[in-house]
Structure 1
Amino acid sequence: LEMAPSGARVWCGGCPPGEERCGTRGSYGGDDDPLAGTMNMRTRLLLTAALLLLGGLPLSERLRANDDAEAEITLALIGGWLIDGNTPLPFENPVILIAGNKIKAVGRLGRVRIPTGVNVIDVQGKFILPGLIDAHAHLEGLGLGERDAEFTDTPEKLRHVILQNARLDLFSGVTSVRDCGSSELVLRLREQIEAEGPRLFASGPQFVKRDPTQPSLPLFLEYDGAKVARRKVREQIAKGIDFVKVRLTRQRPLPTLEELLAIVNEAHRAGLKVAVHVDAPHDEAVRLAVMAGADTIEHMAPLRTYDDRLLLEMARRNIILVPTLYQIQAQRVDPLERNDEDLIEPPLHNRLPAEILQALTQRAALWRRNVLEWRTRGYDPKRTLREAFRSLTRARLLGVKVALGPDTGSDLIPHGRFYKELVLYANMGISPIEVIQMATRLGAEALGREKELGTIEPGKLADLIVVDGDPLLDPEALRHVVLVIKDGRVIEVPRHEAKSR
């Protein structure tokens, strides 16, 4: 501690240094400061207490405690710029110390001591971000719609696709994935998925209201009545789901409030969150999800409501919206504006099997024909996209939180290009730093894991990525992930794949 001499001026922060026009004195005061004696006495008392506390331990024990703390450090990440997921600006030359699978310390180079012998990774010129969180994905999907079945029609093929998608996600910077509806195979493969890919948060099959006129599908769990719904939630919890996914859709009758409340309450009793897929009817289904206490609402239905009170209630109840807006761009805009060769750009183009690339090209041709036919009837996909983002701005102004997840695995949205949704949001006028926070900190909130994930700060799990380029100036830089750290483990992305030539 440096004691300011009596009468010394201290910069108040409101005047330029060296021009202390306001005459503000430091907390130690001067001879004319009536509080000087009191403040000096307080300072002495605080220093005395601190010395007594520090002196309570023998020197050898204090030194040993410091050595033990340093011995825990296994990795140091230095240099570059840090976007921590909390603050609105990055800072230069950070030091991030990692102990095992946890972040131990974060500070500036020169101010944080790096223990000798620790593995140091210098990322000078690059940007460090929290690991990305895809809040709406399907690990069993290839981006081919109904043609997925051609590549997943046996358990072994499906297993191969799931693990391939997990690896693609991790290499693209996604360190946590929220699988919003899949077969129980995803749950059974959890250990291998997390060994080769991101952290897995899976809902298993989706809950749907029983309709005798509709076929029963393996990806759906049918219920009819609150008692049956509650029992099926308990059965899924026993199988290891991480959250519950409910579908409110035009293809099925809407459940009663009692039925949906039974599902939500049973999940909450077990500490699990509930995601509700809503497509139509918009106002009625959104109101039902809000009244039942859903934790997240998936897709665009809340943006199509005519009642702002629903959005205000979503904000009041802290219901997070995952609008999956990149679907419009991928399915209705890109097929018209991109040729077949540019549809899937590097590095994903280099990682997908040739037969999948060919099938994606054919799928895009089908969407292109459909959209062109719709345009003859007055449909404009770009106008639809602009309107969706205007509605999203309205929802955010009313206080609704937004997490990102493009419905990865659905039509023309293959795994391994989560960055595309972030680029879209930035291009539509949302600041890149806010977009990154939607894909990290708010994604962690959607998972219910904000105390462990989503930001880079001491005590949180060591999930980080390094990108080559400045994503605040050019969001496309998020495509160039060169290093991934997941759970404290370093995964280096091959350089020739990380950036297109």
Structure 2
Amino acid sequence: MRRYVRFFALAAFLHASLASAQNPIAIVGARLVDGTGTVPVEDSIAVVEGDRIQAAGRRGAVRIPGDATLVDAKGKFLLPGLVDVHCHINQPPDDMKRYWLAQLRWGVTTMRSAGNDKPETVPLFRETRRGAFLAPRAYTAGQGFSVNGPYPGAPVFNPATADEARANVRSLKAQGVDFLKIWMTNPKFSPDVIAAIVDEASKQAIPVVAHVTDVASLHQLAELGVTDFLHNPRDQPVTPDLVAYAKSRKLTFAPTLANMESPWFYYEHPDILGMPTLQDALYPRGRQMLADSRRRDETLSSDLARRKARMREQTYPFIKAMSDAGVRIVTGTDCGAEASQVTPFGHATHRELQMFVEAGMAPLAAIRAATLDAARVIARSEDPDYGSIRAGKAADLLLLDADPIADINNTIRISRVMRAGRWVR
């Protein structure tokens, strides 16, 4: 508890400074990995003015303002802040702010909460984007649509008819949500209800995001115009026809690997589990579950090798085939999900990056998946305001102590984090 008090005191101090004038900041000497997937720039300079990147490039090509505060970043590595397109943060407002701060400390500067958010918390998401308090830039789907809900008592809409579905969509529009979420899990909505949700969302200019784990549901929604998918089809192996279909429809996928692996990953890595920043990023019940020695022993049983192999065969070939073909794969971890409890905010996004590389993506491509490409998915734009280190973009930055291109595990070697032009770590 004392750690939280100190953390909130620091956050309050930093937040108070947001209103004060600040000299430009020049980050000098880092290897610049700008999020676009291009070759990193050695010995770079990045200049931040206010909440924007004023310039970024090699030394000699970027002018440092005379009144700039210099940050010596020689030997360090500068990346855009990370983006997670699949989170859940259905908590009381004060707890939401605490977990958002924990997520920021891990360098996740943008997040999307994909369902189960109560109407009274929707305004908080807008406040994150105007800088009312320290948090990632956050977006919400509000309650979402599910027949049974992802867990007992989940705040979801369960319309029985097409007319009821349309009324639910209009209610979410009135709340001011940023997108809609449909769970395509058994039991599923009837085709006419699904079509009504998607059609009314289009009329209300609200994007639709869908949870899918089977090919039939993927096709059903893609034919209705949905392009943004969480998880991936696992009922059959990926085929060239499915890859070609996804590419032709410009589909995007957040495979949600970290959530699938988290039940055993943190038991296998007690050094990470013991980090204070990791403990702060877990719900209390999740901390209790991961501290339970009997649960640990049962999880790390002889059956674990089979479970690991099954998880990888359901996801890694899909990621490799889709990314090789140019289908957009992005980071979305299911962190904060009430149903699992053990997928932490922040670190899970780094773990997803690592698993992309394990699946066959190059480190630069994996970093782009966690920055610019993930931002493109949320913003529905090829040139989003965040997710890359380029002049005019939001100054959301992650400064590392070790090279993530040489070893993608180095993304957790965090030196500093900047959100909207202010250091938050």
TM-score by length of 1: 0.71
Higher-Rg structure is: 1
Give the Cα–Cα distance (whole angstroms) in 2 for the partners of residues 453 and 303 of structure 1: 35
- Give 1:414's match in structure 2, choosing from 341, 344, 348: 344
Greater RCO (CA < 8 Å, at least 6 residues apart): 2
Aligned position for 2:47: 97
Q: Which amino acid aligns with 2:388?
A: T
> What amino acid maps onto 1:372 in structure 2?
S
1:396-411 equivalent positions in 2, closer than 5 A = 396-410=323-337, 411=340
- 1:309 and 2:259 are equivalent in the alignment: no
Structure 1 residue 415: deviation in Å? 1.3
CA deviation map 1:257-287 (0-9, x unaligned): x4333322333344432110123xx122111
Give the letter for the 1:441 counterpart: L
Which residue of the other structure, out of 310, 331, 335, is the alignment partner of 2:263?
Answer: 331
Equivalent of 2:404, from 452, 471, 476? 471
| Residues 104-142 of structure 1, C-alpha deviations (whole Å, 9 max, x = no match) | 2222222222221122322221111111001111123xx
2:197 aligned residue: 263
Q: 1:455: how far off? A: 1.1
Mapped partners of 2:189, 2:146: distance in 1 = 9
Where do residues 8-407 of structure 1 align in structure 2 (5 Å cutoff)?
A: 74-140=24-90, 158-184=92-118, 185-190=120-125, 193=128, 195-209=133-147, 217-250=153-186, 252-256=187-191, 258-279=192-213, 282-301=214-233, 304=236, 308-332=240-264, 335=267, 337-338=268-269, 341-342=270-271, 344-349=273-278, 351=280, 358-362=287-291, 365-366=294-295, 369=298, 372=301, 379-407=306-334
Q: CA deviation at 1:460?
A: 1.6
Instruction: Rate the CA distance shift 1:112–1:253 in 2: closer, same or farther, 3 A.
Output: closer
CA contact (8 A) 1:334 1:343 kept: yes
**What does residue 16 of structure 2 align with?**
none
1:320 positional shift: 0.6
Deviation per CA, 1:319-366, whole angstroms, max 9, x where unpaired?
11011012332225554x45xx44614252464689667513246853
1:85 shift after superposition? 1.0
Q: CA deviation at 1:313?
A: 2.1
Instruction: List gaps (5 residues or longer) in structure 2.
Output: 1-20
* Number of aligned residue pairs: 395
Aligned equivalents of 2:392 and 2:204: distance in 1? 25
Letter in structure 2 aligned against 1:430 = M
After TM superposition, the score normalised by the length of structure 2 is 0.83
Q: Identical aligned pairs, as a percentage?
A: 25
Letter paired with 1:414: P
Q: Return closer, same or farther for 1:124/1:265 CA change in 2, 3 Å cut-off.
A: farther
Q: Give ranges in structure 1 of 5+ residues lacking alignment.
A: 1-70, 141-151, 153-157, 494-501
Any conservation in 1 of the 2:281–2:346 contact (CA below 8 Å)? no
Shift of 1:428: 3.6
3-state secondary structure, aligned to 1:223? coil
The 1:270–1:484 alpha-carbon spacing in structure 2 relative to 1, beyond 3 Å, is farther
